[in-house]
Amino acid sequence: MRIFLMQRWSAVALLVFLTLHMVVVHYPPGHIDVDRVLERLDDPLWKAIDIAFLVAVLTHALTGAYMVITDVQRFSVYKRALAWAGAVAGVLLFVYGTRTILTF
């Protein structure tokens, strides 16, 4: 039940972050170029928003993949190993994504 709730709350967060992302990045007034993106990434608030977006995406994707894989009966015996693999993958992807965001 916890994973189900994590999936649902991350979906709500994704709706908010994806809407914000689309409005700011893909539909800005005027032309958007690399300089405007770099200017936005200089702001710590936008870095925090991007990191929160990354957390929501990783949570939603990894919990969804876990639920789909463990729904198959022959994989249900590996639930603990799959959970650990997902957690390790999530941490590694979070570190990689955060380092990329903070580089700018």
Handedness of CA 70, 76, 78, 84 (dihedral sign): positive
Residue 57: how many CB atoms within 10 A of its CB?
17
- Look at residue 85 and tell me whether its pLDDT is greater than 90: yes
**pLDDT one-digit tens code per residue, 9-46:** 999 999 999 999 888 888 877 778 888 888 888 999 99
Average of pLDDT values for 76-94? 90
State the helix-helix crossing angle for 2-21 and 44-71, rounded to 10 degrees. Answer: 140
Average of pLDDT values for 88-101? 96
Residue tagged 């990191």 (tokens): 51
pLDDT of the residue at 19: 95
Going along the chain from its start, the domains and CATH numbers come out as 2-103 (1.20.1300.10)
> CA–CA separation, 21 vs 67, rounded Å?
27
